[in-house]
Structure 1
Amino acid sequence: MSTSTPTATVRTRVRIPLRFADGYSVSAEVVTFHGLVDGAEHIALVLGDTATGTSLVRMHSECLTGDVFGSARCDCGPQLREAVQRIDEVGGVVLYLRQEGRGIGLYNKLDAYALQDTGLDTYQANLALGLPEDGRDYTAAAQMLAALGITELNLLTNNPDKAGQLRELGVTVTETVPTSVHATPDNLRYLHAKAEHTQHTITLPGLTSLVG
């Protein structure tokens, strides 16, 4: 982590049994923090055996519609479910970041959905609302990792910006590990926009695999 970034500390650790809609269950140590720069209530889910090897880490931005209600307009819920199981198998952490709608908030995200229904893609809709295409900053994530003693990791992501930001913040990202592609008829246009516009490492019909 950059020496100019304030230090965060662990606030609480509590073990919680998790159960997903498909019946998959796992136990996670849920960690909260003091001193995060953005003041948001981000949490870490520590999974599996983290005592040996390089931790596998997923930075997952909160998505109420996808994570909780199972919306098929995005791939967030399936990505979270996949990440929890894969990380539990090898040891690591899911950073669950309160960054709804790539940082624009829930109401604005739903406003953007309405604009997408008129033909705009997910990034165009944000801009039409006068908001950033992607307003996420991962400084708090770097603080959380440092508080957990993680300075080197493998990052589970298809988004090259996440690895880039962490490296700029002084975190050693040894390897980026792609997630699966959770394409449905309802989210295919959304995934195409992510691959074409922000170079996510996604292979979809009509696209070659893009490497970020």
Structure 2
Amino acid sequence: MTHTADLGSRLQDAHPSLPVVLVGEARLPTTSGTFRALAYRQADGVEYLALVTGDLGDGHDVLVRLHSECLTGDVLGSLRCDCGPQLHAALEAITAEGRGVVLYLRGQEGRGIGLAEKIAAYALQEQGRDTVEANVDLGLPVDARDYTGAVAVLRDLGVRDVELMTHNPVKVRALEAHGVPVLRRRDLPVAQTVDNLRYLRTKRDRMGHELPGVD
């Protein structure tokens, strides 16, 4: 773990061209394992939390999850999505691996449209629209996420190439477009429920997600 004196030096000197700044680092014990928690911030205030386990060494073949913030799923245990189970499965995976990074992406609620807009989209889904149609009806992007800051955090951590835990091919393409090769993609368990089955099918059929086992 980085000591406080070393942290001050990194804040001033490390990677001055990156669009993120390391704000703090601390030990974080959780029910999924104990991690190094590194907090980053962009100039516009968007924050990222990197949960790191083990020694990343030369930065090659690092097990990584880019996890978009989902208050309803991650915190409240919503059954309308599979976000919470994916987050915990990813944390447990890097703990079992003994080496890896789960990068929590703040400001990406509802694929980047925000919490209030996500609830508005839910209301339209209850009237029969799917998750893609609801966003379009509200005049919002289907997916507004940007991964530039996430890549900057990975670079600051010394990550060179990854095994990516995702069902979303867009995340694979985003990393590779920013110069982070994805050596392999690893599936996460799919937490299918009565309430999220249509959502999962829409992600598979309309957004190209790889979702093995979805009925």
Query: Do these two structures clear the TM 0.5 threshold for a shared fold by scoring above it?
Result: yes
Alignment of 1:163-182 (within 5 A): 163-182=172-191
Query: Do structure 1's residue 13 and structure 2's residue 12 form an aligned pair?
Result: no
| Structure with the higher helix share, 1 or 2 | 2
Is there any run of 5+ residues in structure 2 with no aligned partner, and where?
1-16
Question: 1:15–1:30: 8 Å Cα contact kept in structure 2?
Answer: yes
Match of 1:189 among 198, 201, 215: 198
* AA matched with 2:103: L
* AA matched with 1:89: A
| SS, match of residue 42 in structure 1 | strand
Q: 39-48 vs 190-199, which deviates more?
A: 39-48
* 2:80 corresponds to: 73
> What TM-score do the two structures reach when normalised by structure 1?
0.87
* 1:209 corresponds to: none
* 2:14 corresponds to: none
* 2:8 corresponds to: none
CA drift of 1:49 comes to 4.3
CA distance in structure 2 between the partners assigned to 1:205 and 1:135 by the alignment: 25
* AA matched with 2:61: T
Sequence identity percentage:
47
* 2:48 corresponds to: 42
Is there any run of 5+ residues in structure 1 with no aligned partner, and where?
20-24, 207-212
Distance 1:160 1:37, change over 3 A: farther
Question: 1:102–1:136: 8 Å Cα contact kept in structure 2?
Answer: yes
> What TM-score do the two structures reach when normalised by structure 2?
0.86
Question: 2:162–2:184: 8 Å Cα contact kept in structure 1?
Answer: yes
* AA matched with 2:66: M
* AA matched with 1:157: T
Distance 1:38 1:95, change over 3 A: farther
Alignment RMSD, CA only? 1.7
* AA matched with 1:40: V
CA distance in structure 1 between the partners assigned to 2:160 and 2:22 by the alignment: 16
